Amino acid sequence: MTMIMIARGWLVALAVALLAGATPAFAQEARLETQLATAVQHASFSMDADDHAMAVRHLGHVLNCIAGEDGEGFDGSWGHPCGGQGDGILVDIEEHPRHDDLAAVLRSVHALAMEGVGGETLGSVQAAAAGVRALLEVVESFGN
């Protein structure tokens, strides 16, 4: 077999896998990394917000990135900055090789974000956002 035939065979196999709905591992990890970066950014926006409503909105963005559109706590009225980046951090982490190691942290970050968006004071929302950001950074660094 020539190198061209081998390369052509790999390209056909990849195309068939993509058409069948399989996502290559590198694409799945890239989606996860992008969503994590967006969520960390919006947690920071929440921490830096000048008023309660803006802090909740940005923490809501984070919750939406974590949960995904079909997940618990998703609220489209906050906006979805991770829309199109993946299916939600909790969904996309399922295929990650370190899923079992990170599952407890992700459950905690999801719960903290859910509680934080219900915070009644600016300080309580910002404190939750700080915790969410710190936990997401653990996932980012541990997941690599």
Residue type, 84: G
Q: Tell me how crowded residue 11 is: count the other CB atoms within 10 A of its CB.
A: 10
Average pLDDT over residues 36-53: 98
Residue 15 has pLDDT above 50, yes or no: no
Assessment of whether the complete model's pTM goes beyond 0.85: no
Other Cβ atoms less than 10 A from the Cβ of 106: the count is: 19
At 129, is the pLDDT very low, low, confident or very high (cuts 50, 70, 90)? very high
Give the CB-side neighbour count of residue 91, counting CA atoms within 13 A: 17
The SS3 assignment for 13 reads helix
Average pLDDT over residues 63-74: 96
Classify residue 127 as exposed, middle or buried by CB count within 10 Å of its CB (0-12, 13-18, 19+): middle
pLDDT score recorded for residue 18? 45
DSSP 72: T
* pLDDT, averaged across the chain: 86
Query: Can you tell me the distance from the alpha carbon of 63 to that of 43, in angstroms, rounded to the nearest whole number?
Result: 9
User: 75 pLDDT exceeds 60?
Assistant: yes
